[in-house]
Structure 1
């Protein structure tokens, strides 16, 4: 990483940084959120007019930029002239909408991104982001230095000024990489995440129609599995999450749910337990706010029985949850295709 990139995205021991409003003083939640956003994604001016702000930010700095998953009460965020002046380098911002809606005003144009859409905008031009009121927003945020797109210099113009790529035109390869980033941000090692971000950077101009490609669409079965995993990811905190509930949600048989996981040598229960434990492990290492209790984390992420949780945690990570509070004692997780 160059010195310019380091000034824009200071790395913190290659670890995911987590901030969650549930682990701090409620009245100070938005203040801490604003500080976290500006630290992870360069200067912004967020505003919130509601009463009780709720949010969670998972972010990591990589060799090719910064990636984060942001869940929050709807806000309005402005990149002002002052914010731009205090930004060390020019970047491209991208938001994949997982839930909610995002209106982007930049360059005299307005774009509205809905679930599954990807919206792009420049860091060096004033922009206003408005999330749909009364609808919680969940999105994957990318910040990529312009120098990563040096091969587009011959095209000229400003190809990233307020560009909306609908879910239908996103393209299966880019969609798969973005979805994997969102789902594995808390569980994959930095090297894996960096590779996914690099792939997104390479595929983005193709999805924008700037280059031709003959990449084939992902098979329907893989696409369906991606949707199923996305549903599970959104409902990990539900203690009643089960093969039956997933089968009813998608109108398929329980047997077919088990078959989909069997393709990867795993089971539904193993996957859900593993993902819940990964969330708890990272939340134990939360970087700001009041540190949550182990029991509250276990219940929050869907465990009903604490003894079952403790046994599963030690089996997966080789240490007790209490020992995991020592960040240095716990290595980065290994990637697993569960």
Structure 2
């Protein structure tokens, strides 16, 4: 399901009220206050998609602050996590006594069941993900220690997450993205990877420890997708577990090691094919970059996964951007 709203064309006196109503309906009930000069109109645009149980929005607006208050929570407290990735401008997220100052590329997580505030001091643009808390494989008590914590967009696992989210923002209107539940699941898994890197699991129950280990393994796979020789044995050895146990972990998650590795490689190829900065790279070069060195295999696997050949996928992406 698509959503789009703009305050352009609305009488100035009604613009901010419309914005407050829009963000409360799209996310959870929020209170808002405008920044800037009193009596001036408010520019705001909100557009997004529902990818299964994950909502993805891009919000661009003038300076303002939104607050999730205890009063609003007492009326209804749906159990969601939200993630804000700063695309342009700056923001300050506050929750649980912590404060995260976000610059472009940075992101932070927050919980809709507890009060928070998000302040934008100037014109800004933000990508917002909202998803059920149980989609994260990490214990909620441990995730609570990471709300309103800044994850830098330029380095490490958080840099991978940031890059993926930026690509998602660029393609939010692409028909190929609409309704992609698998894409949403992968994005949340990547977020779990970044969170797991910040946590200490010494006192986590066995079941949660397995989930955390799987997240770390996925992080390792993500960092080694370019290695065409990467095997289940390599992955197991890097985490000091048997190959049999590795296969069991992925089986419990409803997939296989090779299937997960293949899917992530194909998805990264898809991102490159849709990237205007890489339009001069051949499909074979892009495939080899992500460990898929056999061009004929890449073509078959890509069409099976996405319903389009790599060349068709690239052409449709170009046509969509030209609209």
**Shift of the alpha carbon at 1:205?**
1.9
Q: Deviations over 1:25-83 (max 9, x none)?
A: 33322111111101111111111033221111012333223211111112111111112
Distance 2:279 2:99 in 1: 44
What's the secondary structure of 1:68's corresponding residue?
Answer: strand
Unaligned runs of 5+ in 2: 200-211, 227-266, 287-309
1:178 aligns with 2:165: yes
Q: Deviations over 1:237-268 (max 9, x none)?
A: xxxxxxxxx8xxxxxxxxxx751488764899
1:40 aligns with 2:26: yes
The equivalent residue for 2:147 is: 161
| Higher share of residues assigned helix | 2
Indicate conservation of the 8 Å contact 1:103/1:111, yes or no. yes
Aligned CA-pair RMSD? 3.3
Q: Give the alignment of 1:275-286 within 5 angstroms.
A: 275-277=321-323
Distance 1:75 1:261 in 2: 45
Distance 2:189 2:72 in 1: 28
Indicate conservation of the 8 Å contact 1:71/1:139, yes or no. yes
Distance 1:131 1:26 in 2: 20
Q: Give the alignment of 1:304-319 within 5 angstroms.
A: none
What's the secondary structure of 2:29's corresponding residue?
Answer: coil
**Shift of the alpha carbon at 1:200?**
1.5
Q: Which has the higher contact order (CA 8 A, sep 6+)?
A: 1
Q: Deviations over 1:147-205 (max 9, x none)?
A: 222x3238646244222211123446533432232122212356653222211211212
**Shift of the alpha carbon at 1:269?**
10
Indicate conservation of the 8 Å contact 2:80/2:112, yes or no. yes
Relative to structure 1, is the Cα distance of residues 147 and 205 closer, same or farther in structure 2, using a 3 angstrom cutoff?
Answer: same
The equivalent residue for 2:262 is: none
Distance 1:270 1:156 in 2: 42
The equivalent residue for 1:298 is: none
Aligned length in residues:
233
Relative to structure 1, is the Cα distance of residues 58 and 96 closer, same or farther in structure 2, using a 3 angstrom cutoff?
Answer: same
Relative to structure 1, is the Cα distance of residues 72 and 65 closer, same or farther in structure 2, using a 3 angstrom cutoff?
Answer: same
Indicate conservation of the 8 Å contact 2:59/2:127, yes or no. yes
Q: Give the alignment of 1:194-273 within 5 angstroms.
A: 194-208=181-195, 209=197, 210=199, 211=212, 212-213=216-217, 214-215=220-221, 216=223, 259-260=280-281, 265=311
Distance 1:228 1:195 in 2: 19
1:64 aligns with 2:110: no
Indicate conservation of the 8 Å contact 1:140/1:182, yes or no. yes
Indicate conservation of the 8 Å contact 1:174/1:204, yes or no. yes
1:108 aligns with 2:97: yes
Distance 1:260 1:132 in 2: 40
Q: Give the alignment of 1:126-165 within 5 angstroms.
A: 126-133=115-122, 136-149=123-136, 151-153=137-139, 156=142, 158-165=144-151
Relative to structure 1, is the Cα distance of residues 109 and 218 closer, same or farther in structure 2, using a 3 angstrom cutoff?
Answer: same
Unaligned runs of 5+ in 1: 1-14, 233-245, 247-256, 278-338
Instruction: Normalising by structure 2, report the TM-score.
Output: 0.62
Distance 1:38 1:107 in 2: 21
Indicate conservation of the 8 Å contact 2:77/2:113, yes or no. no
Q: Which 4+ stretches in 1 moved above 3 angstroms?
A: 154-157, 169-173, 189-193, 225-230, 260-273
The equivalent residue for 1:274 is: 320
Q: Deviations over 1:270-329 (max 9, x none)?
A: 85653242xxxxxxxxxxxxxxxxxxxxxxxxxxxxxxxxxxxxxxxxxxxxxxxxxxxx
